[in-house]
Structure 1
Amino acid sequence: MYLPPQFKGQRQEHAAPLMRAYPFASLISVDDAGLPYITHLPLHLEQNGDELVLLGHVARPNPHWRHLQARPQAVATFLGPHAYMSPKVYPDLARVPTWNYLAVHCTVEATLVEEPEAKDRLLKKLIGDHEPPYAEQWRGLGEDFAHKMLAGIVGFELRVTDLQCKIKINQHRPEAHAAMQAIYAAGNDNEQALALWMDRLGLNTALPDAQ
Structure 2
Amino acid sequence: MYLPQQFNHPQHAATIMREHPFASLISTDDTGFPFVAHLPLKLQEEGGQAICLLGHCARGNPLPSYLVQRPQALACFLGPQAYMSPKVYADQQRVPTWSYLAVQARVEARLLEGEEAKDALLKQLIADHEPAYANQWRSLPEDYTHKMLDAIQAFELRIVTLQCAVKLNQHRPEAHAAMHAAYAQGGEQEQALAGWMKKLGLV
Q: TM-score range by the shorter chain?
A: over 0.9
User: Partner of 2:42 in structure 1?
Assistant: 44
**Which residue of structure 2 lines up, in the alignment, with residue 105 of structure 1?**
104
Q: Distance in 2 between matches of 1:142 and 1:43?
A: 27
1:7 aligns with 2:15: no
The question of 1:94 aligning with 2:119 is answered no
- Matched residues in 2 for 1:153 and 1:70: separation? 18
> Which structure 2 residue ranges, 5 or more long, are not aligned?
none
Q: Name 1:29's counterpart in structure 2.
A: 27
Q: Distance in 2 between matches of 1:41 and 1:129?
A: 15
Q: How far apart are the structure 1 equivalents of 2:63 and 2:22?
A: 16
Shift of 1:174: 0.2
For 1:109-148, what aligned pairs fall within 5 Å after superposition? 109-148=108-147
CA distance, structure 1, for counterparts of residue 17 and residue 51 of structure 2? 11
CA RMSD in angstroms comes to 0.7
1:142 Cα offset (Å): 1.8
Q: Note the alpha carbon deviations across 1:158-198, whole angstroms, 9 max, x for none.
A: 01000000000000000100000000001000000000000
Corresponding residue for 1:173?
A: 172
Q: Which amino acid aligns with 1:19?
A: M
The TM-score with structure 2 as length reference comes to 0.98
1: CA distance, partners of 2:138 / 2:113 = 19
Cα distance between partner residues in 2 of 1:138 and 1:95: 55
Query: 1:69-127: per-residue Cα shift (whole Å, max 9, x none)?
Result: 11110000000000000001001100000000000000000010121111000110011
Aligned to 1:2, what secondary structure does the other structure show?
coil
Paired letter, 1:171: Q
Q: Which residue of 1 aligns with 2:71?
A: 72
Q: How many residues align?
A: 202
Find the counterpart in structure 1 of residue 17 from structure 2: 19
- Structure 1 residue ranges (4+ consecutive) displaced by more than 4 angstroms after TM superposition: none
Q: Residue 208 of structure 1 aligns with which residue?
A: none
Aligned partner of 1:207 in structure 2 is none
